A = this chain, B = another copy of it.
Amino acid sequence: MNILQFINQNLNYDLTSTEDLPFSVKEKSLSVGKILTDYGQLETKIYFLKKGLIQISINHNDQERILDFVFEGNFFASLTSMLIKKPSDVQIIAITDIQIEVFDYSELEKAYTHSLLANQLGRFALEKIYIQNTNREKDLLLKTAEQRYLDLLQKRPDIISLLPIHKIAKYLGIHPESLSRIRKSIIS
């Protein structure tokens, strides 16, 4: 999926070219390991993930915690940094080779003053992110690491096979040894 398809599908448009958008979109192919937004950097771009997998992490007491993975067909950015124009406290990194579309937040901001489409897109994309974040928070509050691992296994078996154990453990917020125990108890 690309931005045009995202808009047509979710906002009832029938656009045929990115020229129809109130901001200019660039396509990029990047290699695994590429940092799109680093800790301390001001976020000025908005990304759309066409292919691959993205990791968003935060540093807490020198311990890295994986906040989230971004899957194909979703927008991503260091949102708080972008919105309040302060340095990012998250890092956004490609954990596979990726294909993205990217545009400048400054162009979107200008479009917000007059473009119905820009505002519909901003509103809808943010609603989607809000729902995802709330579900993640709720899972963290209400579910055990084992339940969350089983959820991930069911919803995203591709992630489990793509990622090394220590990354999955960082996402679940547990030690790799605890994850190994969980995996063994599931198999047995």
Residues of A bordering B, CB below 8 Å? 12, 58, 60, 79-80, 83-84, 89, 112-116, 119-120, 122-123, 126-127, 129-131, 133-135, 137-138, 141-142
- Which B-chain residue is minimally distant from A12 (CB atoms)? B113
Q: Out of B83, B120, B131, which one reaches A80, CB within 8 Å?
A: B131
- Selected from B119, B127, B131, B141, the residue in CB contact (under 8 A) with A120 is B119
A122 contacts across to B, CB distance below 8 A: 119, 123
Question: How close is A73's CB to chain B, nearest CB, in angstroms?
Answer: 18
- Chain A: interface secondary structure? helix
Taking a contact as CB atoms under 8 Å apart, the answer to whether B119 and A123 are in contact is yes
Chain B's closest residue to A65 (CB) is B141
- Tell me the bound Cα distance from A126 to B115 in angstroms: 18
User: Roughly how many angstroms separate A131 CA and B58 CA in the complex, as a whole number?
Assistant: 16
Q: In the complex, what residues of B have CB within 8 A of residue A138's CB? A: 89
Residues of B within 8 A of A116 (CB): 114-116, 119
The residues of B that contact A126 with a CB separation of less than 8 Å are 123, 126-127, 130
In the complex the two chains form, what is the Cα distance from A151 to B187 in whole Å? 47
Q: How far is the CA of A138 from the CA of B135 in the complex (A)?
A: 16
Q: What is the CA–CA distance of A12 and B137 in the complex, to the nearest angstrom?
A: 34
Residues of B within 8 A of A127 (CB): 83, 126
Cβ of A134 and Cβ of B80 under 8 Å apart? yes
- Select from chain B the residue with minimum beta-carbon distance to A129: B130
- Give chain B residues whose Cβ lies under 8 Å from the Cβ of A113: 12
